[in-house]
Structure 1
Amino acid sequence: MNHSNLAQRVKELRTRKGFSQEILAEISGLSLRTIQRIENNETVPRGDTLKRLATALNTSPDEIVDWKIQEDQGYLTLMSASGLGFLFFPLLGIIIPLTLWILKKDKLKGVNELGKSILNFQISWVLLLCCYYIFIISGVLGLGNIFSNILPNWRFGILTFFIPLICLYLYNIIVTIINTVRIYKNKSFRYVPALRILR
């Protein structure tokens, strides 16, 4: 087992409970220095120390010791495909990958990087979609002469009206499917263009 993962796990469980190192030391009956040494990866908790730590964190010793970064290509493929949620509602393309990312970002290899890439791409896509809707609404409400200059007969050009929208959706579908297939084949992925919102 990678001891740095164990140290990270102890710290993660402690912060999730809202405990400071001092509080964890008090609840577990261990010294503050022991807690600090465990979290700094200077020592590995064993025996009674591990049991006390697990009890204080309301978990099992196995949960602490066995926690490690694993590989799961199936999960990565599912996560990539989850971006297609935007087809049902634009924000689902963000919400579903975000949920999958949060659940496994520190437990499965590659999830953190993939999650950020998908989310950056989907957030950028939703922002572009919103800009398009604002552009359309401003034209419909007559808030400018943009439509009269670009499309003099826009009321009768419904196909022209929807072409950018169709292109936006098709682009997202293509990028998501290509990347999902590449991830399934264990190849690199590229979700572009995207604003670097999550780094």
Structure 2
Amino acid sequence: METIGAKISKVRKQKGMSQEVLSDLAKINLRTLQRIEKEENEPRGNTLQQICEALKINIEELIDYREKEDKTYLIFFHLSIISNIIIPLGNIILPLILWLNKRDSIIEVNNQGKNILNFQILFSLFNNLILIIGVVGKIQHLYILSYFILIYFLLLLFNISYSIYVANRIKKNDIINFYPNPIKFLRQTK
């Protein structure tokens, strides 16, 4: 991936400008421009705007703001729910980390992440409540409540199976919000 400094140097050379000419036109220090092109500094704000104006290009030509498509990341994202088998609340922790890491750089990660996290938070609250009722029932010798432990594991198995199903649907290019979200902990943006 080409850096901003390399792109500036390339455009400057294409336009037949020396570093001195560009620094004069952009009204920035020559040493600053040299550091930018050597990738020792990254131009920001006013400096970046002045360089772009001097080169007569748009900022977007230097900085790629677009999100990229990565279906493999989305598949892995949905499969990260399975980490709940090894890590308590892993169905929330790992997707949260993956969502925070790539929500602005990969298409659909922000939307899918909010959908997954909203469901998994509610699922974990509900399923752990079922487990607590089952454990209390077992301790109190209330055998009807001890079946809640079985229900807990069946729901856990369903959650894991469903995440595998969703990953397969995404592999076939079917990207929708798969999880119901009756309570929105993270708001979806349109």
TM-score for the superposition, normalised by structure 2: 0.61
Unaligned runs of 5+ in 1: 1-34, 39-43, 51-60, 155-159
Q: Aligned AA for 1:88?
A: I
Which residue in 2 is equivalent to 1:31?
A: none
Q: Does 1:191 align with 2:156?
A: no
Unaligned runs of 5+ in 2: 1-44
Other structure's SS at 1:45 match: helix
Distance in 1 between residues matched to 2:52 and 2:84, nearest whole Å: 50
Contact 2:84 2:90 in 1 (8 A): yes
Contact 2:134 2:149 in 1 (8 A): no
Distance in 2 between residues matched to 1:131 and 1:176, nearest whole Å: 21
Residue of structure 2 aligned with 1:127, choices 90, 103, 125: 125
Give the drift of 1:112. 0.4
Give the drift of 1:178. 1.1
Change (3 A) 1:168 1:93: same
Q: Does 1:106 align with 2:104?
A: yes
Contact 1:90 1:126 in 2 (8 A): no
Give the drift of 1:167. 1.2
Which residue in 2 is equivalent to 1:83?
A: 81
Deviations 1:5-46 (A, max 9, x none): xxxxxxxxxxxxxxxxxxxxxxxxxxxxxx6xx9xxxxx825
Distance in 2 between residues matched to 1:72 and 1:128, nearest whole Å: 32
Give the drift of 1:99. 0.6
Give the drift of 1:48. 6.6
Which residue in 2 is equivalent to 1:54?
A: none
Which residue in 1 is equivalent to 2:41?
A: none
Q: CA RMSD in A?
A: 3.3
Change (3 A) 1:192 1:115: same
Change (3 A) 1:71 1:137: same
Other structure's SS at 2:49 match: coil
Which residue in 1 is equivalent to 2:51?
A: 47
Give the drift of 1:113. 0.6
Deviations 1:69-97 (A, max 9, x none): 11111111111111111111231111111
TM-score for the superposition, normalised by structure 1: 0.58
Which residue in 1 is equivalent to 2:158?
A: 171
Other structure's SS at 1:186 match: coil
Contact 2:67 2:105 in 1 (8 A): yes
Give the drift of 1:195. 3.1
Change (3 A) 1:74 1:46: farther
Distance in 2 between residues matched to 1:125 and 1:193, nearest whole Å: 10
Contact 1:121 1:192 in 2 (8 A): yes
Contact 1:120 1:198 in 2 (8 A): yes
Give the drift of 1:107. 1.2
Distance in 2 between residues matched to 1:45 and 1:115, nearest whole Å: 34
Q: Aligned AA for 1:92?
A: G
